A and B are shown apart, each in its own frame.
Chain A
């Protein structure tokens, strides 16, 4: 099978062309996933671009994005496939008094025509290239994870009445997790693992510049630096990348081109969402500048 990317640098360039700034780890793992035909499991704090990575990869490869949002109570019927019960009933009713014999009818109502494909099956059967995103996989119960195993390792779905549906093309698969529980060994073993953490300062600045084009270089630099300092505090919830971007946007809209302690204090509620965190950050910003006043 042809590979989608020639090398790591190509992945990185293409991702950049769709405004996703990848570092070595990200570009490397996307490249590897294509070569090894293995899904990528992405873990990390909220708002670091886990879901966005899948979207951007879909965009850059021109593939269709199929998304399965996980939640507690997700089952086979919602994730894989379901028989179209009503249509089957209609078919039987329509045949009443006809002369089709039972086994023929049975074969008929358990055919592809009566199958409702849910995201996973849809991704497998698709003719065009597909990126499959299984979002927040840690929300399903540990038993439900088993549903995913076959598709993740063999790229196939077994339907008892129909047989096995194998993939027309191997999709790129992304799983994201917010780490609210430990995923099973079986699932992890089948995936490549990527931990997406907050970006370092230089990269964060670049991200801000890409996402908020009107911002000046100086302001973006300041934003990134303030955020880095805030992240070093012991907080309940650290500012995410998306919050950084929101903050940068706000500053631009307010027409601020230089952050000082006052503006930072006034707008910090965009970065932080907990009262105690805000207090801590404000205290930190002001206390430190006082002690070096002389």
Chain B
């Protein structure tokens, strides 16, 4: 049954949607459509990049037999426990789960009249303002909230947020999506577009300010500290509301386009596969969160490797001493533990626009691992070059140091366009004497030189003096040496050039570095 085609999956779920009018779900009660659905679900998880093995697949099938099927939360956790074995994959799992199971379960069902046409349809006005919403709201939908004016809706939303009433917030989220998102069947835009339209109409920032104002007026004696906590509380509720709205939009899209198409649209790279150069702001935030555990893991691994790498030469004294317990026969030879020298690191990073994010992550990683190196020095450049080591040494907080690098370092020489040739020349003249046989030099950048002189002889000279020279390039390999990229010119003198586009590649490089 695991090899069932996806076609069945789509059918069974659309059936479920269409039969919503009866208020009953036919498919969840019988086991075989459920298994079909699960199979499709697991295939989608694999498509999203989660490594789901056959055993785990079978476990999931077993697990669902032990839980009450009408309990969606239990189903979610049962599937997660058997299928998701890495916390960073949780988000991807959650999205796929929502897509596949969002239309199941009583309370999650779309209203019956909406099942026929999940969209109100006529919201054409791009401004979508409150006035536009009024007309549609009164269009005679049977629902309980439909007769309200936008002001009433705003009022109810405000109350729901003020009281933290989650059921009310959910129904408000539904109502505002219905009213403001202006969803049209078959229109090929992503959920973010509808989300944007809905949020713009709700003006949640304004609501937050209003809530805070209310808080201040109502209770004069609350301390500022208390107010600050209250603000966090409201922010939290607003976040929850946004999530509800997002989920609602997703549900409607699924009802419109079908499970499969929706899952495909929503498919996002796992955090470790997100491309540094094209990460969205949210992905960036996730990357920042992911990098800390990563460095911790790497540090442990590197330290372990150093302690118990290869064995050293025979330790004569120790062998003799331990031979006494065998009556003088050296049955158990002992070896010296070699202490491999820790390398010295010099990082030279291009921090111009497109590659800045990449440089930031790599610097972060290198400094988090700094206990594994005797010394770390860092230089940043665009067309001029500046040493930034001291920013990192003055504070324990790497994030702050990187912030200072971006705002204070003196890296512009002429026009603020990358000039590798000149930057390397400055480096060589000012700091070249510090490069020694223990130094590993890391150069970070896309080698897009804006057609300046490459000065690749400097790399050659550095290589002669240094232990090794590595170049990390955040561009995909297929782009190398196209346009003004002159990575080939430099690479002939490097010990290695690596394509480092995501955390996974960065991790595997760092693993080999120390």
Chain B 92-136 per-residue mask, 1 if CB under 8 angstroms from chain A, else 0: 000000000000000000000000000000000000000000000
Report if B339 contacts A (CB, 8 A).
no
Known: A192-B82, A261-B224, A292-B227. A32 touches B51 (CB 8 A): no
Report if B429 contacts A (CB, 8 A).
no
In the complex the two chains form, what is the Cα distance from A83 to B84 in whole Å? 40
Report A-chain residues with C-beta under 8 Å of the C-beta of B397.
236, 276, 280
Give the size of the chain A interface in residues (CB under 8 angstroms).
52
Least Cβ distance of A283 to chain B in Å?
Answer: 12
Known: A179-B293, A181-B301. A195 touches B228 (CB 8 A): no
Report B-chain residues with C-beta under 8 Å of the C-beta of A201.
236
- Which residue of A193, A222, A232 contacts B81 across the interface (Cβ within 8 Å)? A193
Report B-chain residues with C-beta under 8 Å of the C-beta of A179.
293, 297
Report if B233 contacts A (CB, 8 A).
yes
In the complex the two chains form, what is the Cα distance from A23 to B85 in whole Å? 19
Chain B 52-88 per-residue mask, 1 if CB under 8 angstroms from chain A, else 0: 0101100100110011100101100110111011110
Report B-chain residues with C-beta under 8 Å of the C-beta of A222.
229
- Which residue of A8, A25, A40, A292 contacts B212 across the interface (Cβ within 8 Å)? A292
The segment from A63-71, A182-190, A247-255 found at the interface with B is: A182-190
With a 10 A CB-CB cut-off, give which of B55, B77, B212 has the most chain A CB atoms. Answer: B77
Say yes or no: A32 contacts B225, CB within 8 Å. no
B:395-428 near A, CB below 8 Å: 395-397, 399
- Which residue of A28, A232, A275 contacts B67 across the interface (Cβ within 8 Å)? A28
Report if B223 contacts A (CB, 8 A).
yes
Report B-chain residues with C-beta under 8 Å of the C-beta of A274.
396
Say yes or no: B225 contacts A285, CB within 8 Å. yes
Say yes or no: A24 contacts B225, CB within 8 Å. no
Report if A92 contacts B (CB, 8 A).
no
Report if A290 contacts B (CB, 8 A).
yes
Report A-chain residues with C-beta under 8 Å of the C-beta of B297.
179-182
Chain B 285-318 per-residue mask, 1 if CB under 8 angstroms from chain A, else 0: 0001000010011001100100000000000000
Say yes or no: A293 contacts B232, CB within 8 Å. no
Say yes or no: B62 contacts A36, CB within 8 Å. yes
Report A-chain residues with C-beta under 8 Å of the C-beta of B216.
292
In the complex the two chains form, what is the Cα distance from A126 to B80 in whole Å? 31
Report A-chain residues with C-beta under 8 Å of the C-beta of B87.
43-44, 195
Chain A 264-281 per-residue mask, 1 if CB under 8 angstroms from chain B, else 0: 100000000011100010
Report if B90 contacts A (CB, 8 A).
yes
Say yes or no: B81 contacts A32, CB within 8 Å. yes
Least Cβ distance of B7 to chain A in Å?
Answer: 29
Say yes or no: A36 contacts B63, CB within 8 Å. yes
In the complex the two chains form, what is the Cα distance from A264 to B224 in whole Å? 13
Chain B 24-63 per-residue mask, 1 if CB under 8 angstroms from chain A, else 0: 0000000000000000000000000001010110010011
In the complex the two chains form, what is the Cα distance from A191 to B228 in whole Å? 43
Say yes or no: A32 contacts B63, CB within 8 Å. yes
Report B-chain residues with C-beta under 8 Å of the C-beta of A168.
none
Chain B 184-218 per-residue mask, 1 if CB under 8 angstroms from chain A, else 0: 00000000000000000000000000001000100
Known: A32-B63, A181-B297. A189 touches B55 (CB 8 A): yes
Chain B residue with minimal CB distance to A33?
B81
- A residues with a Cβ closer than 8 A to B are 7-8, 24-25, 28-29, 31-32, 35-36, 38, 40-41, 43-44, 72, 141, 179-182, 185, 188-189, 191-195, 201, 222, 225-226, 228-229, 232, 234, 236, 259-261, 264, 274-276, 280, 285, 288-290, 292-293
- B residues with a Cβ closer than 8 A to A are 51, 53, 55-56, 59, 62-63, 66-68, 71, 73-74, 77-78, 80-82, 84-87, 90, 212, 216, 223-229, 231-233, 236, 288, 293, 296-297, 300-301, 304, 395-397, 399
> What are 21 A-B contacts defined by CB distance under 8 Å?
A28-B67, A28-B73, A28-B78, A38-B59, A179-B297, A181-B301, A182-B297, A185-B53, A189-B55, A193-B80, A193-B86, A195-B87, A225-B229, A225-B232, A228-B236, A236-B396, A260-B226, A261-B225, A289-B225, A289-B228, A290-B224
The 8 closest A-B pairs by CB, nearest first: A289-B224, A261-B225, A28-B77, A188-B85, A35-B66, A192-B81, A195-B87, A193-B85
